[in-house]
Amino acid sequence: MAGMIVLFTDFGLEGPYIGQVKTVLHRIAPGVPVIDLFADLPAAKPKPAAYLLAAYSAWFPPGTVFLAVVDPGVGGDRAAVVTKTDSHWYVGPDNGLFEIVVRRAGRARCWEIPAPPDGVSASFHGRDVFAPAAGRLAQGEVPAGRSRAEGTAGHSDWPNDLPEIVYIDRFGNAITGLRAAMVPDRACLDAAGRVLARRRTFSDVTAGEAFWYENSNGLAEIAVNSGRADVALGVGIGSPVTVLP
């Protein structure tokens, strides 16, 4: 049995979506905790979400099941998959969402989720396809679908680190798809024409000053002490970031 199921979606907390998904999980895996990680991922954008998933899933213990749904192609011809990396399970659409976790894993396997025998909504696979599969995995069942020798859908054109803003948190901090460890220590970041020096934390700069730092999950993050980086710099999801030597 898995230690937990982690929700990683763009569903938002408003409306019935998360509640219905959790109901399915509780029915199938009643003894497994369900953790809300992200419910406000960039809507319908699997690419930035893929870099967040790779960074934030690494923090969780082995055996964790990630129910990851950013699915603009729901009801279309993209496959529904279960992916197993060295220590985690991932359940969701085969649209690139698992590209980076698979690429960074030492080993990965993939199974295609078979169509459920009961009725399935064409527009809510998170509830009707992915949640049941995640619940069964959390209960210790093996994936029911066929193994896919080709793995997940390839997105070899996506870089190993994405030089863009991939998430804006509630404080206005702008998270990039760059691993801070891949950026030279003395390098600056250029965002919206502003050159930002690297600092360790907020108290290292004066109020109102913009900077970048390594966030708690290893990504390069842009912030303003006592302010909102998104407003002060005029950046949003997809805004480019350049590493300056």
Domains along the sequence of the chain with CATH = 5-138 (3.40.50.10790), 162-244 (2.40.30.90)
CA dist 74 and 136 (Å) reads: 21
Tokens of 103: 């690429």
Residue 41: predicted pLDDT: 98
Query: Which neighbouring-strand residues pair with 223?
Result: 211
Tokens of 145: 């679908």
Model pTM? Answer: 0.96
Chain centre distance of CA 96? 11
pLDDT in tens, the chain (245 residues): 678 999 999 999 999 999 999 999 999 999 999 999 999 999 999 999 999 999 999 999 999 999 999 999 999 999 999 999 999 999 999 999 999 999 999 899 999 999 888 789 999 999 999 999 999 999 999 998 888 877 777 799 999 999 999 999 999 999 999 999 999 999 999 999 999 999 999 999 999 999 999 999 999 999 999 999 999 999 999 999 999 98
Residue 100's φ and ψ, nearest 5 degrees, are -80, -35
Residue 89: predicted pLDDT: 97
> If we measure between CA atoms, which residue out of 80, 190, 199 comes closest to residue 129?
80
Residue 1: predicted pLDDT: 66
Residue 99: predicted pLDDT: 96
Tokens of 122: 């064409």
